[in-house]
Amino acid sequence: LCLIIISILGIVFYYFIIDLKEKERISVAVQESKDQLQAILDNTNSLVFIKDLEGKFLFVNRPFERKVKLSSQFILGYTDFDFYPYEAAAKYNASDKETIEKNTAVEFDGMILENEGPTFYHTLKFPLYDNNNVMYGICGITTDVTKKKEIEDKLQATKDQLQSILDNTNSL
């Protein structure tokens, strides 16, 4: 009987150790995956953020931190109204609410007056869902398109000049 009990305990102990090793392997794989995603998000030029349904930041990438000149420890748990002028924060908040109410992705372009002059942005916001398919927040990706806008404006000015030349040539 004692030999049977020892054998059973040995088998239980063996599977307990195997289970612990498997959990450790899974934990390491999950952490590696998180680190890879963080590296991707931190090395993009876009500002990436996640907010809860009340507008409080849950995640920001490094470019976002650099833009607002704060580390995530001073951003997470706060809203746009804590960092931006009221008008800008109200605009961001309105697009958050639109994303939540429509329950779909929302894209928009905007302009912010900064010390260096106007900065033009293209933003995509979309809802995030938990494992039960319940919306818990939104993700936003904001890309600076100032250089693109400047090129488009120059191209349009050139096009207008050429059209004016053509119109004047045709009238001769």
Residue 13 pLDDT greater than 90, yes or no: no
**Which helix or strand (DSSP H or E) is residue 50 part of?**
strand 47-52
- Structure tokens, 92: 């961001």
Rounded Cα distance between 55 and 77, Å, is 9
The pLDDT of residue 37: 82
At CB < 8 A and 24+ separation, what contacts does 96-102 make? 96/51, 96/55, 96/125, 96/138, 99/125, 99/126, 99/127, 99/138, 100/53, 100/127, 100/135, 100/138
Report pLDDT digits (tens) over 94-142: 999 999 999 999 999 988 877 777 889 999 999 999 999 999 999 999 9
